[in-house]
Amino acid sequence: MKALYPGSFDPPHLGHLDLIRRAAAQVDHLVVGVALNPDKQSLLSVDQRVALLAALGRELGNVSAVAYQGATVTFAKTQKCTVLVRGLRNAADLDAEFGMAQVNRANGLDTLFLVADAAQQHLSSRLVKLVGAAGLSLDALVPPAVLAVVTPIFARKPG
Ligand code: ADP
List, for residues 15-37, the tens digit of each pLDDT value: 999 999 999 999 999 999 999 98
Q: Could you tell which of 14, 20, 31, 89 is best to mutate to test the pocket of ligand 1, judged by most ligand atoms within 8 Å of the CB?
A: 89
Candidates 41, 68, 65; CA nearest to 145 is 65
In whole angstroms, give the CA distance from residue 40 to residue 98. Answer: 23
> Active site residue: 2, 29, 77, 89, which one?
89
Please work out whether the CB of residue 15 comes within 6 Å of at least one atom of ligand 1.
yes
CA distance 159 to 53: 27
Degrees to nearest 5, angle at CA 39 with 56 and 7:
30
Ligand 1 atom at shortest distance from the alpha carbon of 117: 24
Nearest CA to ligand 1 atom 22: 15
Q: What is the pLDDT of residues 74-101, one digit of tens each?
A: 999 999 999 999 999 999 999 999 999 9
Q: What backbone torsions phi and psi does residue 9 show, to the nearest 5 degrees?
A: 50, 50
Single pTM value for the model: 0.96
For the segment 111-122, the average pLDDT, to the nearest whole number, is 97
CATH architecture of 2-121: 3-Layer(aba) Sandwich (3.40)
